[in-house]
Structure 1
C-alpha cells in the first residue's frame, strides 16, 4: 500500500524501514488549537462533526493543508464505540464527555451491545472513504479506536475523571463485572477496526489513554489481556500502532500484543526503550507536548536532541507523548512540524 503513496515516510517507518528523516504527525493534530477548527465547531455539535462524513473529512484535512504532516488521522472520537453500545453520550463545553447512563451494575452491563452494533458506526467508514478521496494518495490515513480499559473508565465514571475511583472499585470489588464489560468493548473494537481497514485506512492506532492509572497487575489483567485479544483478531493488512499513556512502563507487556509500532509517552528515554524491543517493532513519540508552549529555539533544540539520540535507528515516527492541548499556539506547532521536516539524517 505504501508504494501507491506520494509520501510514504510514515508507512516505511511503521514497518521499521529506513527513512531519510523521521516522519511526523501529532495526536489531536486536527483540533481546538486551530482557528479553522472553531470555524467549523461553532456551526455543529461535536457529535454532528464526527457523524457527518463530509465534516469529519473537512476537519481531518485541516492539518494536512495547514501543517503539512506526513500522515492524517481520521477525525472522530474514541467514545463513539461506547455510544454505539448504548451509552448516552454528550459533550459539554469546558467539561468534556458525559454519559447520562453510567455502567455500574450487572444489569447496566447486560444492556450494553457488543460487536453486533458495529453497523451503527458505518458513518466512520463513510468518512474514511471521503477522506481518502480528498487525500488522493498524497499521505497515509490512520484510523483508530479506544482500548477497552480506557472506554470502560468513561462508561463507569460517567465521563472524565482524575482519580478513577469508581473504575478501580469495580476492578477490585467486582472484577467479573469489569471483565464482562471489557469483553463486549473488545469484541466491538475488533469489528470496528476491521471495518476501518476494509474502508481503506493505511494504518490503525489503539488508544489506551488512561493505562497509566493502573498498577502492573491491573494493567495485565484489565488492559493488556484485551488489547492482545484485539490485535490477535485484527485483519493485519496495515500497520498497527499501540499507544498507552504508560508505555514507558508497560512496553515489556505491550510487546506481547505484537504491534508494528509502540507509541511512547515522554517519561522514557526513547532509544533505551527501543533497544529493549524485538527487531521489527518501531517506536512513535515521544516529545513532551508541553514543549509546544516553549520559545521556538527551545522547541527546535528539543526536537534535534531527540533526533540525534535516535540517529541511525530504523522505525522511528516523531509524535508527541500525548495530544496537543487546545491552547497551544498554532504557530509553535507549525514551527515544530517545519523543524522536523527540514531535518536530515
Structure 2
C-alpha cells in the first residue's frame, strides 16, 4: 500500500491526482446499506466481521474510492469499558448508565482489547476482500468526544453536563479522559496489528470547546494517543469539527494529516501548517445536494486552488448526509478522477 495514491498523499508525497474518500462513505445514502441494515441492528453490523466487511466494501464496489474505511462506530471503546450502549433509529446512540461522578469513572475498565477483538477480525476479512487494491483506514473516537457521550448519556446540543464536569470537576474529567485515551491507544494499535493501512482520530464534538478547553481537555489527549501508536508506515489523520480553528494546534500533536472542515480556505490553512503535514478535505457536504454542474464547479475550484500542493486528500468537511442522492456522490468521485485528464 505504500505506493497507493492515498498513502503517498498522506505522507505529503507527489501524486498524479488527489486521492478521494469520504467520511460516512459506507452509509445511509445507499440503498444497499439499508438492505443490510434492515436485517440487523447497528451493533450487530459492527460486531459481526462478515457484515462489517460487507458494509465496508459497498463504496469500494459502488463508488470506486481510493481508500476504504472500516465500518464500525466511535463508541465501541466506551461500550468495551463498561458503557451500556444502544442505538435507536431516529434517536442515535444512548448509554443507559451515564458516567457523571467518581464512582462511575472508577468503574470503567481499561484492559478491554479482548472485548474489541471483533474489530480486528473484521479488519482481516476486509483486507482479504480488498486483496491489496486500496488501503484500509481504521479509526477511533477522540477522548473528549467519547467522554461527551458517556457523560450526556447520548447526543447533545449544548454539552451542558460535559462542560459542568470540565469546569467544576476538572480532576474527574482528566481521570475519565486519561482512561479513554489509554483504551484508544490500545484499540488503534490493535487495528494496526490486524492490518489497517492508516488510522483516523475523530473528535466530532471538539467545536463545542473554547480554545483553552480544547487545549486542556482534547489536544493533550490526542497528543498522548498519537505518541503511543505503532505508526511505522501507517499515516495518522486527525479530524475534528472545528479544525478550521484548531488546525495549528492539531498539527502540534504530530499527525501526518489534518482533516479540515469547510469553514476555511484549504490552501490558506495548509500554508499555516508545518511542512510535511498533509491536509484532507474540505468540500461542504451540502454541495452534494446541488445540481451536478455546481458539484463539478466546486470540486474544480478546490482542486485548482490546491493544484501545486503535495499532501492533499480530497474529502468532505464532515460526513455524507443520509439523504444526499447516491448519484451525486458517485458523480463527485467521477469528477475527481477525471480532473487530471480534463484540466
The normalised TM-score by structure 1 is 0.98
1:325 partner SS: coil
1:269 correspondence with 2:257? no
**Deviation at residue 228 of structure 1 after TM alignment:** 0.1
Per-residue deviation, residues 202-230 of structure 1 (Å, max 9, x unmatched): 00000001101000000000000000000
In structure 2, which of residues 15, 18, 23 is the aligned counterpart of residue 27 of structure 1?
A: 23
Show the counterpart of 1:154.
149
Per-residue deviation, residues 284-308 of structure 1 (Å, max 9, x unmatched): 0000010011111000000000000
In structure 2, which of residues 64, 68, 72 is the aligned counterpart of residue 68 of structure 1?
A: 64
1:209 correspondence with 2:209? no
Rounded to whole Å, the distance in 1 between the matches of 2:338 and 2:307 is 15
Rounded to whole Å, the distance in 2 between the matches of 1:184 and 1:31 is 30
Rounded to whole Å, the distance in 1 between the matches of 2:194 and 2:145 is 25
Task: State the number of aligned residues.
Answer: 340
Rounded to whole Å, the distance in 2 between the matches of 1:186 and 1:318 is 28
Equivalences for 1:1-345 in 2 at 5 Å? Answer: 1-3=1-3, 8-114=4-110, 116-237=111-232, 238-344=234-340
1:18 partner SS: coil
Rounded to whole Å, the distance in 2 between the matches of 1:293 and 1:336 is 11
The normalised TM-score by structure 2 is 0.98
1:206 partner SS: strand
Rounded to whole Å, the distance in 2 between the matches of 1:252 and 1:66 is 36
Gaps of 5+ in 2: none
1:285 partner SS: strand
2:112 partner SS: helix
Per-residue deviation, residues 259-306 of structure 1 (Å, max 9, x unmatched): 000000001110000001111100000000100111110000000000
1:2 partner SS: coil
Rounded to whole Å, the distance in 1 between the matches of 2:192 and 2:145 is 22
4+ residue segments displaced more than 2 Å: none
2:282 partner SS: strand
**Deviation at residue 2 of structure 1 after TM alignment:** 1.4
Rounded to whole Å, the distance in 1 between the matches of 2:14 and 2:252 is 24
